[in-house]
Structure 1
Amino acid sequence: MERVFDSKNFPGQEALAAWTEMAQREVMPKTFRAVDSDVFRGWSDEMSLGPVQVSSVAYPSIATSRTPKSIRVSDPECLQIVVPRSGPHFIEQNRRSTLVRPGELVLLGSSRPFESYAIGEAMLMQFPIALLPVSARHVDQLVTCRLPGDKGIGQLLVDYLGRVTDNHTCYTPADTPRLGTIGLDLAAAVLAHHLEREDEIPADSRQRALYTRVTSFIQDHLGDPMLSVDGIAAAHHISDRSLHRLFQAHGASVRASIREQRLERCRRDLFDPVQRHVPIRAIAARWGHLRPADFTRAFRSAYGVAPVDYRHQALQYSSAWKTSRE
């Protein structure tokens, strides 16, 4: 993510004009008006994932308008998905209006005028409508409709955006095209689900979305010692064989993926000085390892050192780092 705007860098009376210039350059031509204050305070971070642009923004009470004149100036013919993280977001387009709150998402199209009023923070995902396997005519039915982002495939899209924006330092330039593809697959799956047109989604896109849904399910249930291939397959209404094929297509193994992620969560907790008083067996059990001896062998095999020695080394490193900062 790159911070493309921060009001701290501008005198109070100039910040709104600078925000407007940034939005016209990075997103699309729009006009803005600060509400209840003459001073604009906010920031915007952006990350380019190929043709997909993901942003994280914060603003005070602000009114936004995209007029027919703005559209004539420039129309990227894109779809924007807005996911509020805090505060209400009121949006009007296509003669429809809606109030969107955290836990929900809403769509906006660049080719028609819209008005909005918002306060707080939001995540935005923008991409050309032409990249969707669902026609623009059908997508238009969902513009300005409030869609659930706290359950089902909508929650998976919101989780994806949250992980991309919050953990952006974990990704390399080589990861960005793949992240963009995943985002498009999830967006297409959300739209197709609400339009009841899942059959229009290409098979490879459906498989990528399913893989993302399954891996997210695994991450959410790593602490369950009963997590199994059978249970994962049943939760997604597919056979064990189909689940194994799904992972093989991505060069992975279901059981190996579970094992590696559990060990990595344990390693991170052992490295955390805040958890230095938590017994190792408790950390192991937290992530599904109920037999301490088996956990020790698996950890040593993965990281070349026993859990107790790894924690000792991590604490020494933390202490040395603090001393160097003093």
Structure 2
Amino acid sequence: MIETVFRSEDVPAGDRFDRWRELMRQCTAPLELDSEYREDFQASQRLLDLDGIVVWPTKFQPVRFRRTAKLIRQSDPEQVNISIPVDGTLYVIRDGHEMAYGPQTLCVVDSSREIEVRTTAHQVGIGFDVPKALLPLSGDGIERLCRYRLSGREGFGALLTSFLSQIAKDTTSYQKTDGGKLAKIAVDLLSALITHHLGTDDVISPDSHRRILAMRVRQFIRQNASNPDLTPRSVAVAHHISVSYLHRIFNDQGITIAAMIRHVRLEGACRDLANPALRNVAVQTIAARWGFASHSTFTRAFRAAYGILPRDYRQQEDMSTRTR
């Protein structure tokens, strides 16, 4: 993984807009950019090169982007861009029609088509560029996809948004050689999103299906860890697969479903025990909140995982907070 960082405050005011525009050219198809704030442009952006695909978390003042026929003739990288507003709205004009994309919606842009995008307020978002050749697109697939205002709050859109947001939030836990692995996951999720909306699910390979299913299961467990009835069987039923198939998927990754459920619950309990606002909440109440059937079951699991009793961990974290 290669990371490039831009912060406008590191650049003389008169050069900020041009420097940011140069950076944008590295992660998108060539664009015409303009802004009423170009004399002292405020922006920050990171380019995360994941072995051929690019993720770019960004913040910037109001801007207008234009991809013209002339620019397309000059250079077309044949890529798909996914823009995900986090704060602010993108106004996109295609073929004379305008669509607005608010927070947690996914805007699909084809580098081979003319487009105009404008923002009217400070914008925070994540961009994601992928070569078309890596995606299950044929015929008018990309044209049809561009007509959708895809949700980033549910289904595959939520999985993709969550994954890209996590990468954007923190890259320190990844090694330089992890770029290819992260790229494969991102492309799998985008491919699943595409085939779901275009009705072409049979295009995705069996390996991709398994990787996508594993991510859906992990997200489901995180969302339902507090439910004491969450079991491998209930997870399998929720995903319309057999328990044995569910176990096979995760055995290949060196973990059992039961262990994953326990791990997520213990992580949640740790956060609560370390939270000063929950200092007066009984340990057994926290255990029950995270789906443990009994206080003794929770205590044994916690000690096995962390080598310390829950009450001692809370006291340790409390003392640490007080001495900061």
Q: Cα 1:280–1:167, aligned 2, differ >3 Å: closer, same or farther? A: farther
Q: Which residue of 2 aligns with 1:86?
A: 87
Q: TM-score with structure 1 length normalisation? A: 0.90
> 1:287 and 1:164 mapped to 2: Cα distance?
26
Q: Which residue of 2 aligns with 1:160?
A: 163
Q: Cα 1:94–1:207, aligned 2, differ >3 Å: closer, same or farther? A: farther
> 2:108 and 2:233 mapped to 1: Cα distance?
36
The answer to whether the aligner puts 1:250 opposite 2:253 as a matched pair is yes
SS of residue matched to 1:232: helix
Counterpart of 2:135 in structure 1: which amino acid?
L
Q: Cα 1:3–1:317, aligned 2, differ >3 Å: closer, same or farther? A: farther
Counterpart of 1:160 in structure 2: which amino acid?
F
> 1:242 and 1:287 mapped to 2: Cα distance?
26
SS of residue matched to 1:220: helix
Counterpart of 2:107 in structure 1: which amino acid?
V
Aligned length: 321
2:291 aligns with one of 283, 288, 291: 288
Q: Which residue of 2 aligns with 1:203?
A: 206
> 2:260 and 2:21 mapped to 1: Cα distance?
45
The answer to whether the aligner puts 1:312 opposite 2:311 as a matched pair is no
Tell me by how many angstroms 1:96 deviates. Answer: 5.0
Counterpart of 1:143 in structure 2: which amino acid?
C
Tell me by how many angstroms 1:23 deviates. Answer: 0.9
> 1:46 and 1:269 mapped to 2: Cα distance?
34
The answer to whether the aligner puts 1:50 opposite 2:58 as a matched pair is no
SS of residue matched to 2:14: coil
Instruction: Kindly provide the CA deviation profile for residues 69-127 of structure 1, in whole angstroms up to 9, marking residues without a partner as x.
Output: 33344332211111111211011346654211113111112222221012421111111
Given that 2:33 and 2:63 are in contact with CA atoms closer than 8 Å, whether structure 1 keeps it comes out as yes
- Which stretch has the larger CA shift, 32-41 or 53-62? 32-41
Superposition RMSD on alpha carbons, in Å? 2.3
Tell me by how many angstroms 1:239 deviates. Answer: 1.8
Given that 2:283 and 2:310 are in contact with CA atoms closer than 8 Å, whether structure 1 keeps it comes out as yes
Counterpart of 2:219 in structure 1: which amino acid?
S
Given that 1:82 and 1:107 are in contact with CA atoms closer than 8 Å, whether structure 2 keeps it comes out as yes
> 1:175 and 1:24 mapped to 2: Cα distance?
24
2:302 aligns with one of 277, 299, 304: 299
Q: Cα 1:151–1:117, aligned 2, differ >3 Å: closer, same or farther? A: same
Counterpart of 2:308 in structure 1: which amino acid?
V
SS of residue matched to 1:106: strand
Tell me by how many angstroms 1:274 deviates. Answer: 4.7
Tell me by how many angstroms 1:271 deviates. Answer: 3.4
The answer to whether the aligner puts 1:147 opposite 2:164 as a matched pair is no
Tell me by how many angstroms 1:181 deviates. Answer: 1.3
Tell me by how many angstroms 1:278 deviates. Answer: 3.3
Counterpart of 2:144 in structure 1: which amino acid?
Q
Tell me by how many angstroms 1:130 deviates. Answer: 0.7
- Which stretch has the larger CA shift, 218-227 or 20-29? 20-29
Given that 1:153 and 1:186 are in contact with CA atoms closer than 8 Å, whether structure 2 keeps it comes out as yes
Given that 2:27 and 2:129 are in contact with CA atoms closer than 8 Å, whether structure 1 keeps it comes out as no
- Which stretch has the larger CA shift, 147-156 or 69-78? 69-78
Matches within 5 A, 1:101-250: 101-118=102-119, 119=121, 120-135=123-138, 137-250=140-253
Q: Which residue of 1 aligns with 2:23?
A: 22
SS of residue matched to 1:215: helix
Q: Cα 1:189–1:95, aligned 2, differ >3 Å: closer, same or farther? A: farther
Given that 1:92 and 1:144 are in contact with CA atoms closer than 8 Å, whether structure 2 keeps it comes out as no
> 1:129 and 1:113 mapped to 2: Cα distance?
17
Counterpart of 2:292 in structure 1: which amino acid?
H
Instruction: Kindly provide the CA deviation profile for residues 116-167 of structure 1, in whole angstroms up to 9, marking residues without a partner as x.
Output: 0124211111111111133374223212531122222222212222222224
Q: TM-score with structure 2 length normalisation? A: 0.90
SS of residue matched to 2:62: strand
Q: Which residue of 1 aligns with 2:9?
A: 8
Q: Cα 1:31–1:262, aligned 2, differ >3 Å: closer, same or farther? A: same
Counterpart of 1:117 in structure 2: which amino acid?
R
> 1:265 and 1:176 mapped to 2: Cα distance?
28
Q: Cα 1:48–1:67, aligned 2, differ >3 Å: closer, same or farther? A: same
> 1:62 and 1:125 mapped to 2: Cα distance?
18
Identity of aligned residues (%): 34
